[in-house]
Amino acid sequence: MLKKLQNEIPAANWITEDTEPSLLEPCADVILPLTPKDEKIMKRMIDWVKASQNKVFNANNILTEAIGIAAPQIGENIKMYYILLPIPNKDETITYYEHALINPKIIGRSKQIAYLKKGEGCLSVTNHPHEGLVPRSYKINVTGYDYLKKKKENLTVRGYEAIVFQHEQDHLEGKLFYHHINKDNPWLNDEKWIMI
């Protein structure tokens, strides 16, 4: 059974495609405390990601499984995103890293570059493939107000988690993952980069 924070059932048609100009526009700051409208936007993002990862609700893959979503991806150009990152442990259990950030900022980046071996994908990019490596900082420092913890957070994240944060932060700045792919050589690699 899917436990929702808001009344609507998450649906594929909530997602804004990258053909919409709004995805290429920077987002506005959010006023705290949240208005009822902004709180509903956050709850919709949380519900969407959790529903997409719910093996019972999403048994027929009606939603593309997601680990993160940003407000502009559901048609709201404000600075919020939600991440629910499952990381398998050696004992076959799963640790979930959950962040619901408002007005997040990346305030520090390592010079070390990392990338996902198979490149990145995006809920909003479905009609045309964008293959290639997406170079990201291996370690970042992020600050923002966490909706779930009800306080400002200063986070240091590395590796795969850092890549997810940077992907979602891009959405708030009007960028998509494929804007980082080398146009002349999409699979351009550097021996100093870390593959994840």
In DSSP notation, 163-174 reads HHHHHHHHHHTT
Active site residue 191: no
Amino acid present at 187: W
What kind and span of H or E run contains 84? Answer: strand 80-88
What ranges in 7-158 are assigned the alpha helix state H? Answer: 36-53
Q: CA 121, CA 131: separation in Å to the nearest integer?
A: 9
For residue 18, give Cα distances in angstroms to 80, 93, 122, 140. Answer: 18, 35, 9, 26
Q: How many CA atoms lie within 13 A of 178 on its CB side?
A: 15
Q: Which of 39, 131, 168, 173 is catalytic?
A: 168
Q: Which residues are catalytic?
A: 168
